[in-house]
Amino acid sequence: MNKVECTLCPRHCKLAEGQRGDCRVRTNVGGKLFSLVYGKPCAVNTDPIEKKPLYHLLPGSSAFSIATAGCNLHCLYCQNWEISQSQPENARSTPMSPEEVVSKALANRCRTIAYTYSEPIVFYEYTYDTSKLAKDKGLLNALVTAGYIEQEPLKQLCAVTDAASVTIKGMTEDFYQKMSKGTLKPVLDCVTTMKKMGVWVEIINLVIPTWNDSDEDILALVRWIKNYCGVDTPLHFSRFWPMYQLTNLPPTPESTLNRAWDIAKKEGLRFVYMGNLPTHHGNNTLCPSCGKLAIERRGYEILQDHAPNGKCKYCNFQLAGVWK
Amino acid sequence: MITLKTQDIVFLSIITISLLTMFALSTNNVIITQKGGSITAELTARLTASGLPLHPAQYWERTNE
């Protein structure tokens, strides 16, 4: 008895007294559910917004970025597994209240607070409280997430969220089960709900050799985005680098990413980008109307901006995104 | 006078290790979660004692299972 069921994410962990959820950071104490990571970020940095990656959210600005330990997915390729897969007591953290996060963001001249690195869904209460305060102070809030969340908490969070970069890891349930011990449908539902609620969304897809790099895989993703999010939704194909439990695979060949880029453009997506290939032309934004270079990037750096406030200076076309 | 042979010592060692393991598992209150995670009540108690704050979480309900 005294069991509780966490209804934050689709796992619905049923926890006996003293037990923690699959995310490792929510626990049953005395028949009530508590967060173990509220106000305890283990990573705090000022990053370029392009690192999230959010290419259509105040380009060239800074994002005050925080993360706590824990994640509700367990991806074999995780780039931040030291914190995402750790117990909170094993991740060195600094006490930082939501008020402190907001004041540090302002002091560091950041326009956005990014909830990132691990998984903001598992530090939900901290994310929500900080976002509410940030909004009151005129800051934007951006989630960098895998989108594995139930609808009710998501809707509450969307009310204080301005933008999100959501990773759609693959387009089959089998892929999600094997790669991340999760399921696909809640992620797709998360993206469509975010769009409906007016959150600016950019989609990330890590292209992993032999796992999700076939034409069919890429086409399925691109068509879903086109049908459910619209052609103005940016898609970032990201280069896989051998990490964590997938060190047996090679990095994604550039030719594979070029093929993915071609497929997405051919299907009509307007903004297709390349991640982890800093000098590739796929980092640039082209104006969908006149085809000219609107924003030139090298990695996280803006080299040329010909679309101040998102307006192409050659043809006055307004690019989709959050520009002020 | 009892003289222990090598095989007796090996046998007794195995029995002792098995008993100690069973004792450790029973006192450590290991719970294997439905989702395959493993966690101990003791660990959470230590965490609470270590000063990591417990903040009331949203989105949960009691269950009779």
Residue B64 lies in a domain: no
> How many CB atoms are located within 10 Å of the residue A80 CB?
18
The range of the structural domain enclosing residue B24 comes to 18-47
- Domain membership flag for residue B7: no
Q: Are A4 and B60 an interchain contact pair (Cβ–Cβ within 8 Å)?
A: yes
Other Cβ atoms less than 10 A from the Cβ of A309: the count is 11
Is residue A215 within 8 Å of A263, Cβ to Cβ?
Answer: yes
Per-residue confidence (pLDDT) for residue A125, from 0 to 100: 97
**ipTM summary value:** 0.88
Q: Which residues of B touch A182 (CB under 8 A)?
A: none
- Residue A124 is predicted with a pLDDT of 98
Residue B27 lies in a domain: yes
Query: How would you write the pLDDT of chain A (324 residues) with one tens digit per residue?
Result: 689 999 999 999 999 998 999 999 999 998 999 999 999 999 999 999 999 999 999 999 999 999 999 999 999 999 999 899 988 988 888 899 999 999 999 999 999 999 999 999 999 999 999 999 999 999 999 999 999 999 999 999 999 999 999 999 999 999 999 999 999 999 999 999 999 999 999 999 999 999 999 999 999 999 999 999 999 999 999 999 999 999 999 999 999 999 999 999 999 999 999 999 999 999 999 999 999 999 999 999 999 999 999 999 999 999 999 998
Query: Residue A71: which of A116, A28, A113 has the closest Cα?
Result: A116
Among A191, A190, A188, A169, CA closest to A180 = A169
Nearest chain A Cα distance for residue B46, angstroms? 9
Q: Cα–Cα distance between A250 and A207 in angstroms, integer?
A: 12
Q: Considering its fold, how many domains does chain B have in total?
A: 1
Q: How far apart are CA A93 and CA A166, in angstroms?
A: 25
> What pLDDT, on the 0 to 100 scale, is given for residue B3?
74
pLDDT score, position B32: 31
Of residues A6, A36, A150, nearest to B54 (C-beta)? A36
Radius of gyration of chain B (CA): 21
Chain B closest CA to A234's CA: distance in Å? 31
* Residue B41 domain-assigned (yes or no): yes
- The reply to whether B35 falls in a domain is yes
Interface contact flag, A36 B47, Cβ < 8 Å: yes
Cβ within 8 Å, pair A124-B33: no
**Which structural domains are found in chain A, ordered by start?**
38-310 (3.20.20.70)
- Residue-wise pLDDT for B12-54, tens only, equals 888 888 787 665 554 433 333 333 333 445 555 555 565 666 8
CA distance, residue B20 to nearest chain A CA (Å): 24
Token pair of A104, please? Answer: 């540090």
CB contact under 8 A, B37 and A24: yes
- Residue A182 forms contact with B (CB below 8 Å): no
In this prediction, residue A258 carries a pLDDT of 97
CA distance A192 to B34: 29
Kindly state whether residue B57 falls inside one of the protein's structural domains. Answer: no
Does residue B5 form part of some domain?
no
Q: Residue A169 corresponds to which amino acid?
A: K
* Domain contains B40: yes
